Amino acid sequence: MKRVVKFADYRQADIKPHDLFDQYLEISSEEVRRLLIDEGKLASIKCPACDSERRIFAFKKFGLDYVECRHCGTLYISPRPSEERINRYFLESKASDFWSKHVLKETIKARVEHLINPEVMWVANTTEELLAKPEVFVDIKSRYAEFLEGINGLSLFRTKIAIDPEISIPETLTEGKGFRVIEESVQNVDISGIGADVVTGFYLVDRSYGPPALLECINSMLVKRGLLFLISSTISGLDLQVLWEKAKTIFPPENMNIFSIEGIEILLERSGFEIIELSTPGQLDIEYIKTAIERDETLEVPRFISYLIKKRDEDAHRAFQEFLQQFRLSSHLRVVARKR
Tens digit of pLDDT for each residue in 294-306?
Answer: 999 899 999 999 9
**Residue 135 — pLDDT band, cuts 50, 70, 90?**
very high
| Rounded mean pLDDT, 306-321 | 96
C-alpha torsion angle, residues 316, 317, 318, 323 (rounded to 10): 90
As a whole-number percent, the residues of the chain with pLDDT over 70 amount to 97
Q: What is the pLDDT of residue 176?
A: 78
Question: What's the CATH number of domain 12-339, 3.40.190.290, 3.40.1280.10, 3.40.50.150, 2.60.120.200?
Answer: 3.40.50.150
The full DSSP string for 170-199 is PGGGTSTTSEEEE-S-GGGS--TTT-EEEE
Q: pTM higher than 0.85, yes or no?
A: yes
Cα–Cα nearest to 248, from 6, 12, 88: 12
- Cα-flanking dihedrals φ and ψ of residue 271, to 5°? -100, 5
Q: Are 143 and 119 in contact (CB under 8 A)?
A: no
- Given this model, what pLDDT does residue 7 score? 58
- Burial label for 302, CB within 10 Å (0-12, 13-18, 19+), is exposed
Res 158: pLDDT: 93
pLDDT band at 172 (very low <50, low <70, confident <90, very high): confident
Q: What pLDDT shows up at residue 4?
A: 65
Residue 3: per-residue pLDDT: 63
pLDDT given at position 340:
93
Under DSSP, the state recorded for 245 is: G
Q: Give the model confidence (pLDDT) of 191-224 as tens digits.
A: 777 899 999 999 999 999 999 999 999 999 999 9
* Paired residues of 68 in beta bridges: 56, 75
> Mean pLDDT across the stretch 251-260?
98
Q: In this structure, how many other beta carbons lie within 10 angstroms of the beta carbon of residue 157?
A: 20
Helix axes 285-295, 303-311, angle to 10 degrees: 90
Q: Is residue 101 scored above 80 in pLDDT?
A: yes
Model confidence at 110: pLDDT above 70: yes
7 vs 152, residue with greater confidence = 152
Distance CA 62, CA 26 (A): 9
Mean pLDDT of all residues belonging to the chain: 94
How many CB atoms lie under 10 A from the CB of residue 209?
Answer: 21
Contact 320, 3 (CB under 8 A): no
Closest of 71, 88, 97, 65 to residue 255, by C-alpha: 65
Which of 296, 290, 298 has the alpha carbon at shortest distance from 316? Answer: 290
Is residue 177 scored above 90 in pLDDT?
no
Distance CA(174)–CA(149), nearest Å, equals 10
Residue 39 has pLDDT above 70, yes or no: no
Residues 6 or more apart from 50 whose CB is under 8 A from it? 69, 71, 72, 74, 263, 266, 267
Asked if pLDDT for residue 38 goes beyond 80, the answer is no
What is the C-alpha to C-alpha distance for residues 128 and 28, in angstroms, rounded to an integer?
40
**Entry field: residues in the chain:** 340
Which pLDDT belongs to residue 10? 73
